[in-house]
Amino acid sequence: MKLLSRKVTCNSHGQNSSYFLGWQEYEKNPYDENKNPTGIIQMGLAENQLSFDLLELWLAKNPDAAGFKKDGESLFRELALFQDYNGLPAFKKALVEFMAEIRGNKVTFDENKIVLTAGATSANETLMFCLANPGEAFLVPTPYYPGFDRDLKWRTGVEIVPIQCTSFNDFQITSSALEQAYKEAQKRNRTVKGVLVTNPSNPLGTTMTRSELNLLVNFISEKEIHLISDEIYSGTVFGSPEFVSIIEVLKDRKCEDIEVYNRVHIVYSLSKDLGLPGFRVGAIYSNDDMVVAAATKMSSFGLVSSQTQYLLSEMLSDKKFTKNYIMENQKRLKLRHKKLVSGLESAGISCLKSNASLFCWVDMRHLLTSTTFEAEMELWKQIVYDVKLNISPGSSCHCTEPGWFRVCFANMSEKTLNLAMERLKVFVQSMNGSNNLSQYQSTKNSRRKSLTKWVFRLSFHDRQLEER
C-alpha cells in the first residue's frame, strides 16, 4: 500500500456507493428466464436495449460499413493506421448533424468545435481538467448521476458542491438553491468554477424547463463561471414538454457573440440515444477555442477507435435511417415508460412525472419504516435480496430526502419488466400485511450481514466527507 499513490488508496472515486454495489450483487445472481428464474432482475442499469433491431437491420443492409469497405475497396490499412486525435472529419460532421437533428434542427453545431472522447465519462472529466484546478468546485443539482463522484472528482481533485433540490417543486432548480450552494462553497473555501447539469436529468427522467435554463444562464453570467450541460439523454425525450437544449436558449437570447457563450459547454454521447455504451463514443462541444484545443490534446488518453468512427459515420450520415431511428426509439421508450408507470401504480407506488430517459424516479417514501437514510437502505436491501430487483437508492444519487429510488425500464424485455412489477406488487402487499410475509422474511446469510455493515460504514464515511 505504501508504495502506491494517494489516488489509488483514497476513496474519492465514489464507486463504493450502493449504486455500484447493487450491480455487484446482480452479477452474483443474475436473473435469466430459463437458467435462473429466481435471480436478481437488473433495474439499476441505464441501458437502452429497445432499438437494437433497428441498428442490426441497418448493419445487415450495409455490410460494407462494418467490413471497412468503401466503393468495393478495403479501408482496413487506412483505418488501422489512422491516428489523428482530431478525429475522422466525416464522423464529426455526421455526429454534429445527428445532434442537431435530435434538437429538431432548431440549432446547428460546428464540427470544428467538437472534441471526440471515449464516452461522456471521459468528456465530463476532460472538461473538469480544462475548467477547474484541484480543490476548486462545481455546483451540481441533486439528485445526480452517481458516476459524477468518480468522473468529476477522483482524478481531477475537483470538488462537487450540491445544489439542493427537493420534491417540493419536483426537484427543479431555484435561484435560492443556486445561491445557497454558492455560499456553501464559499463557506468551504472553495472557488466555484461552474455549474454542471444533466438535461434531461439522470435520475429524474425530466427535461429542464426554459425558465430553469434561463435562470442558469443568468447565474453563470452574474458569477462569471462556466456551465456544463450533459445532454447524453437528449434523444430519449418521448413526451411533452419537448427538449430544450442550452444551446437553443443561448441562441434565442442572442448570446452567440457575447462572452458567456464561451463559458457554456455541452457533453454528448451515443451510449443512451443509440444504445451503444460499449462503443465508447462521446463528445465535448465548446465555443471556447482554448478549451477545444486543450480537450483535443487530452483526448489522446481516451480516443474513439477509427473503426468505430468509420462505422458510425456511415450509419449517422444515412439521414433516412437517423430520422426513422430517432422517431421509433422515442415511441418505444414512451410505451415502455408507460408500462413501468402502470406496473408501479398497480403496486400502489407512484413516481415523478417524467418525459425522457431510460428510468423513472420512484417514490417509495410510504414504504419506509422511518424517514431516514438507514430506513431507505433497509428497504433497498429487502428489494435487492428478497424481491430480487436491483434498483438504485436515492441516497446514492445524493438525494436529500429518503425514500426515492431510480428504476430503469429499457434494459430488459417487456416480459421481464412484467415479472419485476409482479414481484414488487407481492412485496408491497406483504408489507401491507395482506399477504404472506414469510415469503419475504430475510434469509440472514452472512453475505447480507456483512453487506449491511459495509453499506452503513461507507454511507457514514461518505457523509463525514461531505460535511468536511
- Examine residue 202 and tell whether it contacts ligand PLP (CB under 6 A): yes
- Examine residue 145 and tell whether it contacts ligand PLP (CB under 6 A): yes
Catalytically annotated residue among 173, 232, 246, 326: 232
The beta strands (E) that lie in 404-446 are given as 404-408
C-alpha cell at 75: 479501408
Whole-angstrom Cα distance, residue 98 to residue 102?
6
The beta strands (E) that lie in 59-136 are given as 69-70, 73-74, 114-117
**Which of these segments, 95-103, 113-121, 162-170, 363-371, binds ligand PLP (CB under 6 A)?**
113-121
CB 31 within 8 A of CB 418: no
- Examine residue 304 and tell whether it contacts ligand PLP (CB under 6 A): no
Among 48, 51, 121, 309, binds ligand PLP (CB under 6 A): 121
Strands 114-117 and 137-141: unpaired
Q: What's the closest the beta carbon of residue 117 comes to ligand PLP, in angstroms?
A: 8
Taking CA 230 as the corner, what is the angle to CA 228 and CA 235, rounded to the nearest 5 degrees? 145
CB 360 within 8 A of CB 205: yes
- Examine residue 146 and tell whether it contacts ligand PLP (CB under 6 A): no
Subset of 260-279 contacting ligand PLP (CB under 6 A): 269, 271, 277
- Examine residue 143 and tell whether it contacts ligand PLP (CB under 6 A): no
Nearest to 397 by CA among 132, 162, 159, 152: 162
Write down the residue that cell numbers 466503393 correspond to: 71
Question: Is 232 annotated as catalytic?
Answer: yes
Among 136, 230, 314, 363, binds ligand PLP (CB under 6 A): 230
Catalytically annotated residue among 153, 272, 381, 388: 272
Among 46, 158, 208, 213, binds ligand PLP (CB under 6 A): 46
- Examine residue 154 and tell whether it contacts ligand PLP (CB under 6 A): no
Nearest to 394 by CA among 143, 196, 195: 143
Whole-angstrom Cα distance, residue 419 to residue 415?
6
Question: Is 26 annotated as catalytic?
Answer: no
Question: Is 145 annotated as catalytic?
Answer: yes
Which residue lies nearer to ligand PLP by CB, 207 or 269?
A: 269
Catalytically annotated residue among 145, 261, 268, 325: 145
- Examine residue 119 and tell whether it contacts ligand PLP (CB under 6 A): yes
Strand partners for 81:
none
- Examine residue 178 and tell whether it contacts ligand PLP (CB under 6 A): no
- Examine residue 22 and tell whether it contacts ligand PLP (CB under 6 A): no
Single-letter amino acid code for the residue at 432: N
Annotated active-site positions, please?
A: 145, 230, 232, 272
Binding residues (CB under 6 A) for ligand PLP: these are 46, 119-121, 145, 147, 198, 202, 230, 232, 269, 271, 277, 282
